[in-house]
Structure 1
């Protein structure tokens, strides 16, 4: 995030940039593989649940005595610091997966634009190399303190929205005149759970807006501004996703999506705008994913530093005592992200990150349900958010277990490893006392 104070316009730009920045280019193909022509319904369902979650964040933030986000809310309203820390670790890992997803999309689109997709560079496939290089580049830029300004972010968001609106309008016109629009009604009747499963996978597409809650000291009138940001950025991004998914799945065959899930949007643009449309989407994707990497990388590092200052993660990891740029956190997050984006598949990265955010958003809705006035007219809003995440999580797990067992094993393995590390850290006194007691006996 920029060092300058953010007003409403800049905050909305950062939120929209975080949401639309990479998700619309990286996740659409994965969602389309599952939902087919009903992908637009999946995004609508996910958007409704995320908007309800946004209401939960806003409500908790208005009642909180401290500036913060998910971790702060659990600490303050549930008085469970260990649980808050575990949630924070989950968030950090989820953000690492998200940045890796953006890096994957950057490498795919950059390689496609410049004809490097099938050309190894120094014997290494170009996509993983390009993805790793962009992560290294932004880690370096952030280490020396170079950040994009609010003006640049405003321009990038305007470019993204212009491309998305243009893609949607021209795509709908082309599909209508060529009788190619597919509404997915038949597919819904055949597999009614498809859109809900795809909505769970699409969850990671809507992350980004909540990053602003972690840095409220840089926002003018933060409580009121964040309320407006949530109620503008989430509906606008949901509409953008719905339109883009509808057009793409109307113009691109299922076989093409399965073969090239990372380039689905550009392939659709080529149907009605030829090479120019393909390149326009490619340029927008490169700019958007790069901007999203930059913003999410620094925000995650600052979040880790703040957790370290609260003793929720080791100070050796995030360096809370250092002033300015959190060097250790940036280097650690960058290294983990490179590992994810180089060795992981787009599907595995996307689904892992989505599961992390389903858990975190579900927890926030649960906290909000405990705080709202049950006699109030809006109590049903956090209930919708909680119900949505409760439905998504088991459905998602069953899908991975039955259809993608290797990814299921990977996700479970990471979750178990994370829980073990968290347990050792938060119960380190008991572990130390136990080890000391054993040594005495020996």
Structure 2
């Protein structure tokens, strides 16, 4: 086996034209507003409502700068995602982009990585949802669910039933249809933005500048370490690209949604972080499962406002679970359709227009993960998977500019290859700040994937067998 054989690529024109045979075609239902809402729905959730408490432990008020650093890291990658998504509007996100530019072995690795990233991301936000259920119940009804059903066995509980329940509920919604799911997500996005604006106003009214000192208790190193965790707050804009095949005008709408959702979320994050540290000292925010609700309840002394924030967190986190699970299923769907994983899973329900069976399988598996694994471990695994994907997407832009310079690109990264290279360097900076245990888990996961690739995927890959499915008639939208 020649090494060169591992880097076989899929023809981009064929990928764009060929969207699967009968039973493997996704419905085109999304426009720019629903796509942008999809991105905001995926981004704003556990990161700002939960992970800000972990960041406060590492950097104090300097976590505000951590949000900025993480946003800058994402900005370069967002531009690269926008170019590739508009040029290769096929379900699968970074997996499909890599297949078209860097080769099959790289595509499989990144697809396998994305399955991990999205799966553990859903698990993490579901665990955060469970924590906010108790915050809401305490603030509103002065009751609390027992730890046995709100924490996993590694955190002093038995099973995190609340986390499992929200995953299974979202699974049912996604399996029922994409149109219904994006409508529900749009409503939730509007509500959670309104609640975050409410928090900013209330916190600024009760602002105490003394809470911001010392601003950098752990120095620049603390800001960087916190950014490697806070980065989790930005995971999600890449989920927009998984909807490429279900977008009515991908060349125009995908770049708008990817970049727009990141900008909207960044502005809100920085304002919320500034307001949070202005209303409550670091010691009250550090380690809290619901830091924003804590800030208003203990910092500002407004219990009812804390209840509103807890409700907002529940809504926000629900939309994140919805969008990220949606993205994971589409990536696995694309890999199955390409033959790298069993083709029998690449089936679309004629009733719902969704990969129904695949959605159920992933929903059950993620519910088990969320019920048993601690939040901190899940967040770190999600971050390393995402940063690795971002590195390859940036490299994909550089490679495709050299190999297909005349290819139609509705959106182009300005200043390429400089900006994609900077994007790679920022990702490497945050990767270096992650704990070594996270790297070990990641390498083990990739090793399992390589075993599957060499024993199954290479033999069944459609890029090698030359199989092309019969194209169905164009679907009316």
Q: State TM-score, norm by structure 2.
A: 0.78
8 Å CA contact 1:117–1:127 kept in 2: the answer is no
- Does residue 20 of the first structure (1) align with residue 44 of the second (2)? yes
Within 1, Cα distance between the matches of 2:399 and 2:174? 39
1:115-134 to 2 correspondences below 5 Å: 115=138, 117=144, 119=146, 125=157, 128-134=160-166
Q: Secondary structure at the match of 2:248?
A: coil
- Does residue 104 of the first structure (1) align with residue 99 of the second (2)? no
Q: How far did residue 378 of structure 1 move?
A: 4.7
The equivalent of 1:247 in structure 2 is 275
Q: How far did residue 376 of structure 1 move?
A: 7.0
Structure 1, unaligned stretches of length 5 or more?
A: 402-407, 433-442
The equivalent of 2:236 in structure 1 is 208
Within 2, Cα distance between the matches of 1:429 and 1:306? 16
| Aligned mate of 2:202, from 160, 167, 170 | 170
The equivalent of 1:440 in structure 2 is none
**Pairwise CA RMSD:** 3.0
Q: How far did residue 412 of structure 1 move?
A: 4.2
The equivalent of 2:249 in structure 1 is 221
1:15-414 to 2 correspondences below 5 Å: 15-64=39-88, 68-78=92-102, 80-115=103-138, 117=144, 119=146, 125=157, 128-145=160-177, 148-175=180-207, 178-182=208-212, 185-187=215-217, 191-260=219-288, 262-270=289-297, 271-272=299-300, 274-315=302-343, 319-323=345-349, 324-372=353-401, 377-396=415-434, 400-401=435-436, 408=437, 411-414=438-441
Alpha-carbon distance change, 123 to 98 in structure 1, aligned in 2, over 3 angstroms: closer
8 Å CA contact 1:107–1:127 kept in 2: the answer is no
Find runs of 4+ consecutive structure 1 residues off by over 6 angstroms.
Answer: 121-124, 373-376, 429-432
- Does residue 420 of the first structure (1) align with residue 447 of the second (2)? yes
The equivalent of 2:469 in structure 1 is none
Q: What's the CA shift string for 1:229-255, capped at 9, x where partnerless?
A: 222211221111112122223333333
More moved, 275-284 vs 151-160: 151-160
8 Å CA contact 1:85–1:313 kept in 2: the answer is no
More moved, 68-77 vs 147-156: 147-156
* Higher helix fraction (1 or 2): 1
Q: How far did residue 123 of structure 1 move?
A: 11
The equivalent of 2:15 in structure 1 is none
Alpha-carbon distance change, 378 to 144 in structure 1, aligned in 2, over 3 angstroms: closer
Within 2, Cα distance between the matches of 1:340 and 1:8? 33
Q: How far did residue 23 of structure 1 move?
A: 2.4
Q: State TM-score, norm by structure 1.
A: 0.84
Within 1, Cα distance between the matches of 2:149 and 2:125? 23
Q: How far did residue 418 of structure 1 move?
A: 2.0
Within 1, Cα distance between the matches of 2:100 and 2:453? 18
Q: How many residues in Structure 1 have an aligned counterpart in Structure 2?
A: 412
Q: How far did residue 278 of structure 1 move?
A: 0.6
Alpha-carbon distance change, 184 to 334 in structure 1, aligned in 2, over 3 angstroms: farther
More moved, 152-161 vs 62-71: 62-71
Structure 2, unaligned stretches of length 5 or more?
A: 1-25, 152-156, 406-412, 460-477
